Amino acid sequence: MTTTDSLVLAWRTVRSNKLRTGLTVAIIALGIMALIGIITAIGAMEQSLKESFSSMGANAFNIRYKESRNGFNNGNDDIKKKRRGLREKKSNLGKPIREEEAELFKTNFNFPDAVVAVYRRGPGAQEIHYEEKKTNPQITLWGGDENYLVVNGYSIEQGRNLNSLDVTSGRAVCLMGSNVATKLFGDRPEKCIDKVIRVGSLPYRVVGLLKSKGSSAMMRQDDVLLTSYTNVRNFQNSNPSYMLGVMVGNVAHLDVATEEATSVFRAVRKLEPTEDINFVIERSDKFAEMFIGFLGSITGAAIAIGGITLIGSAICLMNIMLVSVNERTKEVGLVKAIGGKNRNVRQQFLFESLIISTLGAVFGIASGLLVGNIATILLKTSFVIPWLWIFIGILLCSAVGLLAGIYPALKAARLNPIVALRYE
């Protein structure tokens, strides 16, 4: 009896017990589906995050104010010792960046080939109206300057950018995101140029149309309306603090530019040399890494879920194989009576266990990819195939099949052929 004969016989046995095989395959597939599905969804989220944050550019960073730990200014001048030996003014924590401070930094930051943008977040969840049409209440209003587009990775499709006169006068002009223009002007979004729209009750003349940045569910970058930061003050629910964006000409100079920006803005915020900074400098790549780090904990949870399910699958498969040994005791005796060796019996039962576990892996991986890539559709990213985890899943299922089949195979191989033939 050859190894091929043992394999063929094992396959026939698996096919003849469809219900038992189906239930076991389903249990194994469930564990692998959970593992591959969650890993695939996490891959889609990572891809979306990288695409979203890379739009700002690898050679850019922004400056925002540092919020107080309890979310508001506690109004006293107590001094607290920091680990690094720097003192922290509690009165400065949660102190928004004022317009004068932002403009002073823009004037004083003279790093070579650097571009500085001053901007401020306006109200979110806005409806934009044009004649009888309106958008969904999901548009974010931003106030910026003439450098906002280049620092934040936008470009002009039609029309013009904001200019210094728009900023100094605060006149009601705006640039429209591609999603907004498509919603209001249909298949010809370029028709938005020079049209008057309304944000709430305030009219704005559209002077530019922004190119699409491929909005994702993580960051809706095309659902925006940009006006000047002096004009966005007309909205009471705008963010009280200004922000600064800085882009350098060479990514290799980013660290030096960050240190220079820290020094200049310390002077702007009137901080003493012994006082800690009361603002935050964020780089887009570091911000993305922080979010991706959060996703790593979800990966650990997925591995735990898959592992627990596979342990249960191994126990289930071992029990089924032991039942199979008892049911086929006469068959084992017959195989030995016609010349089959202990090795052939062991092979047959191990092959059965491996076939069942491999089928579970195939169905689990296929269903996991389908379920996980629902996230790619929702996040509008490309199809994700986690090859490494697919390989790991196959290995895990093979190990489950091997471990679950060893004891039943050894038990079957040790049966006395005479006793086995007389078994009822």
pLDDT tens string 108-162: 999 998 999 999 999 888 899 998 899 988 899 999 999 999 888 889 999 999 9
Strands 202-210 and 279-283: unpaired
| Residue of higher predicted confidence among 360 and 250 | 360
350, 238: one domain:
no
Provide the pLDDT for residue 330: 66
Q: Which residue has the higher pLDDT, 118 or 402?
A: 118
* Same-domain check for residues 326 and 367: yes
Q: Are residues 64 and 40 in the same domain?
A: no
Highest mean pLDDT of the ranges 18-32, 110-124, 336-350, 399-413: 110-124
Query: Mean pLDDT over all residues of the chain?
Result: 80
Quickly list DSSP for 202-250. EEEEEEEEEPP----SS--TTSEEEEETTTGGG-TTS-SS-EEEEE-S-
> Three-state DSSP class for 16?
helix
Is the pLDDT reported for residue 283 higher than 80? no
What pLDDT, on a 0 to 100 scale, did the predictor assign at position 85?
A: 52
Give the per-residue SS3 of 37-48.
HHHHHHHHHHHH
pLDDT tens-place string over residues 319-339: 877 777 766 666 666 666 666
The pLDDT value given to residue 420: 54
Domain boundary among 283, 305, 322: 283
| 308 & 274 share domain | no
Is residue 382 over pLDDT 90?
Answer: no
Residue scoring higher pLDDT (184 or 23)? 184
Q: Which residue has the tokens 């400065």?
A: 92
Average pLDDT over residues 53-64: 72
Highest mean pLDDT among 82-91, 254-263, 414-423: 254-263
Cα distance from N-terminal residue to C-terminal residue, the chain: 26
Nearest 5°: the CA angle 60, 63, 68 is 145
Mapped onto helix, strand or coil, the DSSP state of residue 121 is strand
Is residue 379 within 8 Å of residue 299, measured between CB atoms?
Answer: no
Residue 17 forms beta bridges with which residues?
A: none
Which letter, b or e, does each residue of 369-397 get, where b requires 16 or more Cβ atoms within 10 Å of its Cβ?
bebbbebbeebebeebebeebbebbbebb
Per-residue confidence (pLDDT) for residue 91, from 0 to 100: 47
pLDDT band at 243 (very low <50, low <70, confident <90, very high): very high
Containing 118, the helix (H) or strand (E) segment is: strand 115-121
Nearest to 166 by CA among 208, 126, 198: 208
Give the pLDDT confidence of 208-222 residue by residue, as tens digits.
999 987 655 445 788
Residue 59 DSSP code: T
> What single letter denotes the amino acid at residue 149?
L
One domain for residues 376 and 307: yes
Angle at 67 between CA 64 and CA 137, to 5 degrees: 70
Which domain-ending residue is among 264, 283, 302? 283
Q: Are 12 and 64 within one domain?
A: no
Phi and psi angles of residue 406, each rounded to the nearest 5 degrees, phi first: -65, -50
Whether residues 9 and 68 fall in one domain: no
Residue 76 banded pLDDT, cuts 50, 70, 90? very low
Q: Do residues 64 and 12 both lie within one domain?
A: no
70 pLDDT tier (thresholds 50, 70, 90)? very low
Asked if residue 177 and residue 80 are part of one domain, the reply reads: yes
Structure confidence at residue 181 (pLDDT):
93
User: Is it the case that residue 56 has pLDDT exceeding 80?
Assistant: no
d(CA 199, CA 196): 10
Say yes or no to pLDDT of 20 above 90.
Answer: no
Domain span including residue 40: 3-52+289-421
d(CA 204, CA 219): 25
Q: Are residues 381 and 293 in the same domain?
A: yes
Number of domains in the chain: 2
Mean pLDDT value of segment 195-213: 92
More confident residue, 65 or 148: 148
pLDDT at 190 over 80: yes
What is the C-alpha to C-alpha distance for residues 60 and 218, in angstroms, rounded to an integer?
A: 20
Among residues 390, 377, 391, the alpha carbon closest in space to that of 44 is found at 377
For the cut 50, the answer to whether the pLDDT of residue 73 exceeds it is no
Same domain for 167 and 150: yes
Domain shared by 296 and 315, yes or no:
yes
Last residue of a domain, which of 283, 298, 317? 283
Residues 396-404 have a mean pLDDT of 82
